[in-house]
Amino acid sequence: MINRWWIIAGALSIHMCLGALYAWSAFTPELIDPSGPYAFSAQQTQGVFSLGIMCVAIMAVVSGRLQEKISPRALAVCGGLLLGLGYILGGLFGKTFFWQMVFIGLMGGSGSGMAYVIPLAVGIKWFPDKKGLVTGLVVAGYGSGAIIWVKSAGSWFNLLDILDFFSLGGVQSVFILYGLIYLALVLIGSLFMVNPPQGWVPKGFSPPKHSDANASAEGNIAFESAEMLKTPQFYMVFFTFFLSSMAGMMVIGCIKLFGIDILSTKGIDPLAASYIAGTAMAWYAVFNGLGRILWGSFSDRIGRRLSLFLLCIFQSMIMFFFFKLGGTHAGLIASACFIGFNYGGVYALFPAITADYFGNTTVGKNYGWVFLASGLSGIAGPQIAGYFKDAAIASGTGIDAWATSFMIASAGCLIAAIVVLFNRPPLQKKSLAS
């Protein structure tokens, strides 16, 4: 039998590439440059990002349902093909906003969503004894992979522009390069996406027999999606996921634009401000990955509910002060680290919460429905920031418009923390035959 830790290695290889959209801020300054070949508006750049995030969420539902008919390995391969080809075609033909929406947002996002749930579902089945830790490790690749894509993008822009790669310029050339890398790594990782034999459990592990802080009922309980969607707990989990992830989504989409704006008003040269903002993006990605591992592990010890409550409170506080803190080099980077850490935790906690509340064996199909909340937050967060940014340009308001976006995100996290206090695991609904 395969060593179950190889499953995690394959999952990391896949998720590292699926987090491609997390590097989107690296492209936005090039895309909105009025003297450049694209001259997109800020809201248009956020539109590509938002469509991609929404497609990830929708396809996660589709993929979860398809797992009953198609092997996890085949679904992961299909996702990798869509993602890689989306970026390659986006590089070849993405000179306009429309085609970037189609290839990067729609096609790339759909590929990412098709493969997203697979490593989580397979990982939880191989590690029922370490759900928080393993979901954290798997999704850490999704967040931390962006470190590579963010930090290397600037260098590739210049190099590929000089080499006149396909006469496409830096941005589109990087799309092609990244597409080839994503395609290769996802296909390699998919080789390890196999479920354990039916009835298999880790040596020495006994499923919990009674409800506890982390589980709704016996270890063999499973809610089918139709049953789950009838519970109030699902909608509370969904609403909390939406609000708690909106702040992180907003910052992913706008941190470089905000960093350049705010630091430039403090007397920092725009080029230096761009470099600092890029560094903040990279540190955001680092702590995004760390947060997924540490919050997941932490929740195995103190419970998912308390962990999520603390996370939402911390995120609300940092978003409240982000506009002021972001006005300095150190403050922008420190804030990015803290926001990224908490945001990463969201994606470690909710797969485990879904398994705790609605069953380990059905988490693949059920988490897709929960994950739709992430897609909605991927629209709401970046679009709110893009709207106020464009409105500020049109009205001459200045950088103060950024503060409104961050206050909205802060309030959302606070509301999420309150909802967490009232949510409890559902009662036992259905036992699976062993």
Distance CA(432)–CA(163), nearest Å, equals: 59
Domain ranges for the chain, please list them: 4-197+215-422
104-151 confidence digits (pLDDT tens): 999 999 999 999 889 988 988 888 888 778 878 887 777 667 677 766
Look at residue 345 in the predicted model and tell me its pLDDT: 93
Strand partners, 215: 212
Residue 154 has pLDDT above 50, yes or no: yes
Contact 332, 262 (CB under 8 A): yes
In 10 A of CB 165, how many CB atoms? 18
Look at residue 434 in the predicted model and tell me its pLDDT: 36
Burial tier of 421 (Cβ tally within 10 Å: 0-12, 13-18, 19+): exposed
Look at residue 210 in the predicted model and tell me its pLDDT: 42
Q: For residue 85, what are the contacts with CB-CB under 8 A and spacing of at least 6?
A: 107, 111, 179, 183
CA distances in angstroms from 215 to 91, 152, 177, 427, 434, listed in the order given:
46, 42, 44, 10, 19
Q: Against a cut of 0.75, is the pTM above it?
A: no
Which helix (H) or strand (E) is 236 found in, with range? helix 232-264
What is the secondary structure of 165-200 as a DSSP string? GGG-HHHHHHHHHHHHHHHHHHHHHHTT--PPPTT-
Distance CA(117)–CA(374), nearest Å, equals: 13
329-388 confidence digits (pLDDT tens): 999 999 999 999 999 899 889 988 998 899 887 887 898 899 889 888 988 888 888 888
Distance CA(324)–CA(30), nearest Å, equals: 26
Nearest to 243 by CA among 370, 412, 419, 57: 412
What is the secondary structure of 260-310 as a DSSP string? HHHHHTTT--HHHHHHHHHHHHHHHHHHHHHHHHHHHHHHHHH-HHHHHHH
Distance CA(141)–CA(275), nearest Å, equals: 24
Which helix (H) or strand (E) is 257 found in, with range? helix 232-264
Q: Classify 4-197+215-422 by CATH class.
A: mainly alpha
**Which of 117-121, 170-174, 430-434 is modeled with the greatest confidence?**
117-121
pLDDT category at 80 given cuts 50, 70, 90 is very high
What is the secondary structure of 67-106 as a DSSP string? TTTS-HHHHHHHHHHHHHHHHHHHHHHTTSHHHHIIIIII
Distance CA(239)–CA(97), nearest Å, equals: 31
Look at residue 162 in the predicted model and tell me its pLDDT: 52
Look at residue 102 in the predicted model and tell me its pLDDT: 95
26-48 confidence digits (pLDDT tens): 788 888 888 888 888 877 887 88
Q: Which two tokens stand for residue 327?
A: 């006005």
* Length in residues, the chain: 434
CA atoms within 13 A on the CB side of 264: 13
Mean pLDDT of all residues belonging to the chain: 84
Look at residue 416 in the predicted model and tell me its pLDDT: 96
CA distances in angstroms from 421 to 233, 296, 309, 346, 411, listed in the order given:
12, 19, 7, 16, 16
289-342 confidence digits (pLDDT tens): 889 889 988 888 898 899 999 999 999 999 999 999 998 999 999 999 999 999
